[in-house]
Amino acid sequence: MRKLLGMVLVLGLISVLSVSSPAQVKKGKTRVLTTKQLMSGLVKPQCGSLGEALKTAPTDDKGWEELATKAALLNESSYTLMDDGRCPDGEWAKASTQLREGSAAVLAKIEAKDAAGALEAFKGVTASCATCHKAHKK
Ligand code: HEC
């Protein structure tokens, strides 16, 4: 009887875990931020305004600093995407690495005040959006 009860508990736990795992795409395990909020509040605005701004090279240090901030925030979001049990699979992990490496490459070009190089490196950032959305954005 005890053994049976143990089996039932284990099976129950397995079914709870398997039902709750798909939700990790939409939100982490413990923190409040949803993936939708991360995208609409941080990733999209920083990516959109960075892409727009890179079309014309900044004319002063303040302009370059603003670009560096956008690239660094995108880089940081690649870590949030992997934290708190949010990552469901290899495609997600691959896209997060693309975002991390792409934004770091853009930042390096911005620090060198190389606008053309930054625009070229920015392709790595936008490739990451496509990789992840193809697999995980319904
Ligand atoms: C590792 C995965 C991943 C990466 C990388 C990623 N996204 Fe997303 N994105 C998602 C998921 C998942 C959703 C759907 C979230 C939902 O609706 O619950 C989403 C939704 C969005 C949305 C819709 C938000 C809304 O309000 O409904 C926008 C805009 C967006 N992403 C922009 C971007 C841009 C721009 C990039 C690249 C710089 C990017 N995303 C990279 C996973 C990713």
From first to last of its 138 residues, what are the pLDDT tens digits of the chain?
677 666 666 655 554 444 444 578 999 999 999 999 999 999 999 999 999 999 999 999 999 999 999 999 999 999 999 999 999 999 999 999 999 999 999 999 999 999 999 999 999 999 999 999 999 998
- Ligand 1 centroid to Cα of residue 88, in Å, is 14
CA distances from 110 to 38, 83, 88 (A): 24, 27, 32
Bridge partner list, 34 = 27
- Ligand 1 centroid–CA 39 distance in Å is 5
Which atom of ligand 1 is found nearest the CA of 92? 1
Instruction: Find where tokens 């002063």 sit.
Output: 60
- As given in the structure block, the two tokens for residue 128 are 């990451």
> What distance in angstroms lies between residue 2's CA and the mean position of ligand 1's atoms?
47
Domains in the chain: ranges and CATH = 28-136 (1.20.120)
Enumerate residues lining ligand 1, CB below 6 A: 25-26, 35-36, 39-40, 43-44, 47, 81, 92, 95-96, 99, 125, 128-129, 132-133, 136-137
Radius of gyration (Cα) for the chain, nearest Å?
20
pLDDT of residue 11: 58
